[in-house]
A and B are shown apart, each in its own frame.
Chain A
Amino acid sequence: MAQIPVQTIHRDPQLFYWILFPITAVMILTGILRHYATILMATAPKKLDKKTMREQRSLLHGISVRGSFHVLSKKSFATRRDALTTAYESGAYLKDPERRGQAPPNPMSDPSSMEGMMGMMKNQMAMIIPNTLIMSWINAFFSGYVIMKLPFPLTIKFKSMLQAGVATKDMDPRWMSSISWYFLCFFGLQSVFNFLLGNDNAASQMAQQMNQMGPPGGAQMFGPGVDPDKQFLAEAENLAVIEHYSVLDGVEQRLLDSIVV
């Protein structure tokens, strides 16, 4: 089989100064800007009134008692369980006890829940707008240039992705255009941001997308449209079925076992 000759393309070295460095610099700077914009736009958690706070905290109390019953003695667990179950079932902790049993209000009509959605919208916008802008900027100014060669071979399938705007049929897919350099920056700059901005930065789009996959439990639990009465009843049931044991059961034996004479 004949050896395929290596393609060489003579490129103007000015391409590096006028395409590669601008794109890289813009990507890094937008990342930093996005990080600080997210910090500035973050709204402080809204102050809850006393009744709402009591409703949420008492449910959390039940969950913690259920989660760490093993550190309580049998008697004190039973006391807590009885008190919580009674209060849950009678609805003593509810925000407005007279609305018990009615359907939860429509989440769209509640102004307090709109605020949470606005926050999510803002984050989404902070991600989408710069990306769209940069993409169209690169497409408008830098399309059609071949700037670099990848150091590893790729199959022909990647050609349409890497060489968008360069309609040359026989060119090796290793050559890449400016838009593919943008994608490389998009995925690979996380470590640069880690270095510049600290670990839990908001600069990278990748990290934000990860966060959206799993919504935090707290927001979901007390979110709009959830009936707190039903949550209380479910929690009371959960507490009732726990079979209590303590970590101190048989501790004397464990202590004696651990002593080596």
Chain B
Amino acid sequence: MPTERDFQISPVVQDSVVHNSRTLINLQSLTASLFGVGAGILGLESYYGFLFYIICSVLTTLLFYVVRVAPTSIPSGKAAFDTSRYYRSPYEFWTGGLLNGLAGFILTWTLFYGLVRA
């Protein structure tokens, strides 16, 4: 458990933390809308639509980890699936996107479901 003193010895720059999480939120809200388009065209209803959303957004986060985080975080001595090099908490990284994109997902899901199934 890092103490206040450890943070003073190796400080965390607030701007970088904000930038990192903002990049992730951008990606997640954009992809959530696109998943809504997909779910609408496939004609998914009720639980299947939400399941589709959860699986797809977890997959997106996983790809984000593999492509952007892992290449620099594993050589620096972190374990696999450890995001602490760039993000404060693992929960924020792995599940934060689910809520961020939900409204956009429902919007495009409803729109395309309505357009396709009329």
Name the distance in Å between A65's Cβ and chain B's nearest Cβ. Answer: 14
Name the distance in Å between A203's Cβ and chain B's nearest Cβ. Answer: 13
* CB-based nearest A residue for B33: A191
Q: Are A191 and B104 in contact (CB under 8 A)?
A: yes
Q: Are A152 and B46 in contact (CB under 8 A)?
A: yes
Give Cα A185 to B22, complex, Å: 22
Is B118 part of the binding interface, using a Cβ–Cβ cutoff of 8 Å? yes
Name the distance in Å between A17's Cβ and chain B's nearest Cβ. Answer: 11
* CB-based nearest B residue for A245: B5
Q: Are B107 and A149 in contact (CB under 8 A)?
A: no
- Which of A176, A191, A199 is most buried by chain B, counting CB atoms within 10 A of its CB? A191
**A 194-223 to B, binary, CB cutoff 8 A, 1 in contact else 0:** 110001000000000000000000000000
- Which of B46, B110, B113 is most buried by chain A, counting CB atoms within 10 A of its CB? B110
Name the distance in Å between A164's Cβ and chain B's nearest Cβ. Answer: 17
Given contacts A151-B49, A152-B46, A190-B29, contact A184 B107 (CB under 8 A): yes
Name the distance in Å between A173's Cβ and chain B's nearest Cβ. Answer: 13
Is A137 part of the binding interface, using a Cβ–Cβ cutoff of 8 Å? no
Q: Are B118 and A190 in contact (CB under 8 A)?
A: no
Instruction: List residues 219-234 of chain A with CB under 8 A from any CB of chain B.
Output: none
Is A150 part of the binding interface, using a Cβ–Cβ cutoff of 8 Å? yes
Is B115 part of the binding interface, using a Cβ–Cβ cutoff of 8 Å? yes
Q: Are B9 and A247 in contact (CB under 8 A)?
A: yes
Given contacts A192-B33, A194-B29, contact A152 B45 (CB under 8 A): yes
Q: Are A151 and B104 in contact (CB under 8 A)?
A: no
Instruction: List residues 5-32 of chain A with CB under 8 A from any CB of chain B.
Output: 11, 13, 16, 20, 24
Is A187 part of the binding interface, using a Cβ–Cβ cutoff of 8 Å? yes
Given contacts A188-B108, A190-B104, A199-B22, contact A152 B29 (CB under 8 A): no
Give Cα A164 to B35, complex, Å: 29
Interface residues on A, range: 20 to 34
Given contacts A70-B8, A151-B46, A194-B29, contact A188 B103 (CB under 8 A): yes
Contacts of A185 in B (CB 8 A): 107
Is A147 part of the binding interface, using a Cβ–Cβ cutoff of 8 Å? yes
Q: Are B118 and A11 in contact (CB under 8 A)?
A: yes
Name the distance in Å between B17's Cβ and chain A's nearest Cβ. Answer: 15
Name the distance in Å between B57's Cβ and chain A's nearest Cβ. Answer: 12
Contacts of B114 in A (CB 8 A): 16, 20, 147-149
Q: Are B26 and A199 in contact (CB under 8 A)?
A: yes
Is B70 part of the binding interface, using a Cβ–Cβ cutoff of 8 Å? no
* CB-based nearest A residue for B36: A188
Q: Are B106 and A184 in contact (CB under 8 A)?
A: yes
Give Cα A150 to B109, complex, Å: 9
Contacts of A101 in B (CB 8 A): none
Q: Which of B26, B46, B47 contacts A194 (CB 8 A)?
A: B26
Mind listing 18 A-B residue pairs with CB under 8 Å?
A24-B111, A70-B8, A148-B110, A148-B111, A148-B113, A150-B113, A151-B109, A188-B33, A188-B104, A189-B104, A190-B29, A190-B103, A190-B104, A191-B30, A191-B33, A192-B104, A247-B5, A247-B9
Question: A-contacting residues of B (Cβ < 8 Å)?
Answer: 5, 8-9, 22, 26, 29-30, 32-33, 39-40, 44-47, 49-50, 101, 103-111, 113-115, 117-118
Give 6 A-B pairs besides A151-B46, A190-B103 with Cβ atoms closer than 8 angstroms.
Answer: A70-B5, A147-B114, A149-B117, A150-B113, A187-B103, A188-B107
The 9 nearest A-B residue pairs measured at CB: A188-B107, A191-B29, A191-B104, A148-B114, A188-B103, A151-B113, A187-B103, A152-B46, A70-B8
